[in-house]
Amino acid sequence: MKQKLLGLSLRFWRLFFWVCFVISLYFSYRETPFTWVTGVEVFAVITGAVCVWLAIIEHIANWFVAILSSVAYIVLFRHSRLYSDMGLQVVYVVLGLWGWYNWLYGGRGHGELGVTRTPKREWLLLWLAGLFGTALLWRVNLFFNGAAPFWDACLTAFSLVAQYMITRKYIENWMLWILVDAIYVPLYLSRKLYPTAVLYALFVGLAIMGWQEWRTSYEKTALERGSIEPV
């Protein structure tokens, strides 16, 4: 049976999001001079969208594309004085390398890693880590006179939590990404990073699709093991 979202097939939503993405890029730059900054942002946006899509279908190439996107965003966020986000991208590069290895060899018998639920104790530790990271990065942003110090710090901290969860293939990572990406949209609009704001709006939809796809994968894996928890 085909998976559906709001009564429509996932194939329809995939096509819809990609069409919106291309149209938004066109209108974002139609009346804007194309500088090296916009060039870097376009590259970062395209590779960012591609890597999320590859993650949704559990393709190992998502880590390579994600690293390319992170390097581009390091340059972009340094220019925009979003220091927490710049630091976040540096960590993403490291997590990308680890996630690449973990997806290939982190499963049973050093085999391919399957989708699982987040252990309850680990959920608590991850939330505490997110809150601690928010407090720490908030102080750092204030010291360096960063833009939107609290929200930048909070979203950075919980993005790290979500990224760690995706390296472990915890299905709940998509729930956290939906929340984080939705809040990122107005932050990037305030910094006039319009294509990136559009990208994160699309990320919300992609995260919903990711939840759908990974839930199916989780149920398949759990049935093979003879046990399943409801999601």
> What is the per-residue pLDDT across 145-158, written as a single tens digit (0 to 9) for each?
877 889 888 998 99
Q: What are the tens digits of pLDDT across the range 8-42?
A: 566 655 665 666 566 556 555 555 666 777 778 87
How far is 91 from 64, CA to CA, in rounded Å?
A: 14
Backbone angles phi, psi at 5, to 5 degrees: -130, 120
Question: Which of 12-16, 76-80, 133-137 has the highest average model confidence (pLDDT)?
Answer: 133-137
Distances (CA, A) of 67 to 52, 72, 74, 174: 12, 9, 11, 19
Q: What is the pTM of this model?
A: 0.77
- Assess whether pLDDT exceeds 60 at residue 109: yes
Query: Which residue, chain included where needed, has tokens 């979500």?
Result: 162
Are 45 and 72 within 8 A, CB to CB?
A: no
Helix axes 149-167, 173-190, angle to 10 degrees: 150
